Amino acid sequence: MAKYILKRVGYAIVTLFVLVTLTFFMMRLLPGDPFTGEKQLPEKTMAALNAKYGLDKPVTTQYIMYLGNCLHGDLGLSLNTNRPVTTIIGEAFTYSFDLGIRAVLMAFVVGVLLGTLAAIKRGRPADTICMLIALIGVSVPSFIVASVLQYFLGLQLYFAMGKTVHLFAVTGWDGFNSKILPVFALAFGSLAQISRLMRTSMLDVLGQDYIKTAKAKGLSQKAIIWKHAIRNAIMPVVTVLGPITASVLTGGFVVESVFAVPGLGRYFVQSIQNRDFTMISGTTIFYGAFLIIANLVVDLAYGLIDPRVKLEEG
């Protein structure tokens, strides 16, 4: 067990290191430098600025400085707002995290239920409907789902109801009615993926001998499904929680932009459009670190949940 954990943590650290290195050298490769603007600065000012940010030193020194700063949690100042990147991330990520965790939860719960339902009602209309929903979810990009929801439920429904009640707010992140649409838009793709996986896994489990035994000893259908089938079938779904977190996080880029949620994803897209390089590299490292740690947690949790996985061998 200890060896497995050590190995996983080791991987996570190496991956993180590669990510930081990659980000640093990619940012170095960008054409121009942060101080070239519309106005040509005097030589001396340039030199002073370069010295202030350590840009006059050789690349290796800069790289080591950068690594050190990252370890201290210092990701530099945003070129646009001149505020520390970490502060901006700290503020914006609370919204993103709120949105993301709701989306992951919704995707997981609804996906598992849909998949289970489809597997139990295999070949019947309920199965077809569930899998049709899942197929649409897999095939329609999140930004389209977001726009469709915003247009029909946010806008047209509001018009249809005589512009009185906002059942679903179109933008923002304050009241409960403003959270439904973004969460659903963000969760839909992952929800579909989970329900497809859950259906396959559930069908597999339902064909096992221990289910037959449970039936033979006279357990009710309900008890069989909840006590025996779901617990076993849910295992493969746990393994995709890592990738699901990643897709929810990156899906946040567009969903937050569409619904004007003041989260980190929206900030990231804005800084891409403004070419705010420190913000971009800072956010990249933050996202990368977050996902790598999330993957690590999922990996370790999987070993804990399922006693059949022998961690020593992994």
Query: Between 29 and 216, whose beta carbon lies closer to other proteins?
Result: 29
Query: Between 232 and 284, whose beta carbon lies closer to other proteins?
Result: 284
Look at the alpha carbons of 48, 53, 54, 55 in this order and tell me if their dihedral is positive or negative: negative
State the residues that interact with other proteins by CB under 8 A.
11-12, 14-15, 18-19, 22-23, 26, 29-30, 135-136, 138-141, 143-144, 147-148, 151, 155, 199-200, 203, 246, 249-250, 253-254, 257-258, 269, 272-273, 275, 280-281, 284, 287-288, 291-292, 295
Q: Kindly give the interhelix angle for 264-274 and 241-259, rounded to the nearest 10 degrees.
A: 70
Nearest distance in Å: CB 141, other proteins: 5
Nearest distance in Å: CB 314, other proteins: 12
Please list the helix, strand and coil fractions of the chain in percent, rounded to the nearest 5, in that order: 75, 0, 25
Q: Give Cβ neighbours of residue 158 (< 8 Å, ≥ 6 apart).
A: 165, 166, 167, 168, 170
Query: Between 179 and 199, whose beta carbon lies closer to other proteins?
Result: 199
Q: Identify the three-state secondary structure at position 77.
A: strand
Nearest distance in Å: CB 155, other proteins: 7
Which residue in the block uniquely carries the two structure tokens 């690594």? 67
Nearest distance in Å: CB 188, other proteins: 12
Amino acid at 114: L
Query: Between 177 and 200, whose beta carbon lies closer to other proteins?
Result: 200
226 DSSP 8-state letter: I
Nearest distance in Å: CB 249, other proteins: 7
Query: Between 11 and 219, whose beta carbon lies closer to other proteins?
Result: 11
Q: Kindly give the interhelix angle for 277-305 and 264-274, rounded to the nearest 10 degrees.
A: 150
Q: What is the DSSP string of 150-182?
A: IIIIIIIHHHHTTT---SS-SS-SSSGGGTHHH
Nearest distance in Å: CB 168, other proteins: 15
Nearest distance in Å: CB 113, other proteins: 18
Query: Between 145 and 224, whose beta carbon lies closer to other proteins?
Result: 145
Query: Between 204 and 219, whose beta carbon lies closer to other proteins?
Result: 204
Tell me how crowded residue 11 is: count the other CB atoms within 10 A of its CB: 14
Look at the alpha carbons of 23, 27, 28, 34 in this order and tell me if their dihedral is positive or negative: negative
